[in-house]
């Protein structure tokens, strides 16, 4: 009887470990993740199913901060075709996003007229890296994965939620590289 109980306990333990491992690596696209929006309300990335998405880690006091204008322009140009930009404020580089979510929202709307969806501040690297950015940097294709090096790193996602391309900070959102990639995905 004791061996039977021990065997049952081992099977339960094995099952729990398999289940936990499965949830750790279960993300197969961005739709798995839900994060709070800039106002603190849950906003699942699944809300963007069927759209082409450009995900960007942003900061208000960075040399690349003027890219907000280009992000908004690209969003306005393509949103009627099923395109969305989503911003993820992060304070991981040079403390260039020190503000609260409310301060970030005010800054973005007043200075750059941002209307695309913004999420609450996240961590894109380090020990407190948000699970979405763990997925983006570790579980995507090798040509896309890798540590975030600075603010305004961009990830392009197809209509099925698959990350298909990465653009480093110096590549502006309105560059031919980005817009041609967006247009190609919008035609699919």
Q: Residue 110 CB: number of other CB atoms within 10 A?
A: 9
pLDDT score recorded for residue 109: 96
Give CATH for domain 29-186: 3.40.30.10
User: Has 62 been annotated as catalytic?
Assistant: yes
Angle, alpha carbons 106-137-26 (nearest 5°):
105
Residues 6 or more apart whose CB falls under 8 angstroms from that of 50 comprise 82, 159
Catalytic residue selected from 29, 61, 62, 139: 62
pTM: 0.85
Question: Which tokens in the block code for residue 80?
Answer: 């009627």
Position 17 scores a pLDDT of: 40
Residue ranges of the chain with per-residue pLDDT less than 70:
1-26
């Amino acid at each position: 009887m004791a061996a039977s109980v021990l065997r049952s306990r081992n099977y339960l333990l094995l099952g729990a470990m398999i289940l936990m491992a499965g949830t750790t690596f279960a993300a197969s696209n961005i739709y798995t993740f839900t994060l709070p929006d800039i106002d603190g309300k849950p906003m699942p990335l699944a809300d963007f199913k069927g759209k082409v998405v450009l995900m960007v880690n942003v900061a208000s006091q960075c040399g690349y901060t003027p890219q907000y204008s280009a992000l908004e322009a690209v969003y306005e140009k393509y949103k009627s075709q099923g395109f969305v930009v989503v911003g993820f404020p992060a304070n991981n580089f040079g403390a260039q996003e020190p503000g609260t979510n409310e301060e970030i929202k005010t800054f973005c709307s007043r200075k750059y007229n941002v209307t695309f969806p913004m999420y609450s501040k996240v961590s894109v690297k380090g020990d407190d890296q948000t699970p979405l950015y763990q997925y983006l940097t570790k579980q995507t294709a090798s040509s896309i994965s890798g540590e975030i090096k600075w603010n305004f790193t961009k990830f392009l996602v197809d209509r099925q939620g698959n990350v298909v391309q990465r653009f480093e900070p110096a590549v502006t959102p309105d560059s031919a590289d980005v817009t041609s990639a967006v247009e190609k995905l919008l035609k699919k």
